[in-house]
Chain A
Amino acid sequence: MLLLVQYTLIFASVLLLVALGGCFSEHSGVINLGLEGIMVIGALGGALMMRYLPAGTSGFMIVILTLLAAIVFGVAYSALLAVASINFKADQTIVGTALNMLGTAGATVLVKAINTAANPDDVSSTIQYIEPKKAFIVNIGSFEFNWFMVVAVIMLIFAYVVLYKTKFGLRLMACGEHPQAADSVGIDVHKMRWAGVLISGMLGGLGGICYILAGVSEWKFENGVAGFGFLALAVMIFGQWKPTRIALAALLFGFFRALSNVYFGFDWLVSLNIPGSVYNMMPYIISLIVLALTSQHSRAPKAEGIPYDKGMR
């Protein structure tokens, strides 16, 4: 039971971080379908940092530097989306999709190259981080408390405050709702959208490293992040682009994802004799159902997905 709570919280943290990322991007007017790829690259950044940190590094420094690396990678990678969709008015769906594929392919190529260089017989795309991972975890009894749960809560507060209490948030949302209006009062729409996308890169990168640290001590980059970027988008839509509601939605989705990891710990679930694949499918099925029920009346930022062209005002 405790294990279920633990996994629910950690997966909810992932979904919350990434969904908040999507939320920032969409509030600025850019649909970020590339979150999946951003997660992979963020995870790559964090994993590489953990791999190359010297053995004696203090736990605190490991956590900080790993997070920082994930953020830097995520932000840098999201710039690819920003430049294409904002400056070149590229189709956001195509570019987002390309980023997802590029993320997995690029990370695989890089990690394999690193592994092969270190050991010519090693052609895997796996990075191990058994030791540094311990820095992220505090054992409270049998409950593994993970620092990412704190990070997620901090980011939730950060998102709420930034969006609703600051000048920046007001301007950002204006750009996603009515960029012509924002432009007419001297707000640089392109700059704000860049900011929105880069913040989503930061949160997506954090979510990525959080995801690969969630259950295991090594990650095979060929696998990407199994649609989590898209689950996060479903969470965002279910949460109606509002941080607090997104947090609740993330908990719900996190629960179903956690089930697939721990269902064998429940005798009555095991006795039902349902194949493991069914539990694996659960989060995706739930998200389809949730989207079917909520999408009809959802109120997305009005100008999302439409490139802003100064000539059109």
Chain B
Amino acid sequence: MKKVLSVLLVAVLAVSLMAGCGTKGDSVTIGIGQFAEHGSLDNCREGFLAGLAEKGYVEGKNLKVDFENAQADGAIASQIANNFVANKVDLICGIATPMAQSAFGAAQDKDIPVIFTAVTDPVAAELANADRTPVGNITGTSDKLPVEMQLEMIRKVLPDAKTIGIMYSTSEVNSVSAIEEYKAVAGDYGFEIVESGISTTADIPLAADNLLGKVDCINNLTDNTVVSSLPVILEKAAAKNIPVFGSEIEQVKIGCLAAVGLDYYDLGKQTGLMAAQVLSGEKKASEINFEVIDEAAFYGNSAVASNLGITLPEDLVSSAKEMFDTISE
């Protein structure tokens, strides 16, 4: 036992020694922490690296990227953030709210700038002041949903619809605030919102059956839990011939009828450009206000439309940033 332990201990020390010996030269090291794994956040990360590359920070050349995914576990997110800080990375990028908060919490007073992205409400998350100025050595981009444009689009596609069902997880702040916003403006477009809160992925099939019995269409937020189980909802909705609207490109790709949404790749890219400014020393993170993407694009899926027997309005199709004619798995 003692031998086993001492071998283990030596191994632990050796690994931590190696981990500690990052060489720094001309190249910079950044830590990217992503809270969960799904299409939008992955796109965000790719966009982020593209933005950095545009400004001359190319991964593998003069940029070392330490990427970690917390798999939606809050304790792991904080561990990841602590590791980045301990390894003294030059900058931390936190993707999605809990990861951004963990990074900010860990890097506070440690002189490591934090750039966040895909945070719906940075002010509510206390990552920025109400006037968009930074609360510390932190800035980034928000992925606030274009709620009114989405409702306007749904009205155009379904002129007779009265109720919109929205499923969300009660444990995600972003979704809760999005629901509030939908409820506040839905009346202006003649809709009534039927919400259905869930706690875990396991609740989704039952909640979907229940919701589909009550609504004319379903609208999807960027809720991490719901999005990761979207295929389940899509299948059930298709069986009942009820259209499902998405909130961004990835969701339309896998079978939502249409979406007015952000391009997370663009969002990530915008964030990457901000990070480049910080890395080059042009500006400090504490001097940059957080940014939002004002433009939202229309995405449609014609294969889904023909399955449902719906024709997407011509003006929407012609203005689309991207139309899909297949449903990808």
Q: Please indicate whether A and B come from the same complex rather than being unrelated chains.
A: no
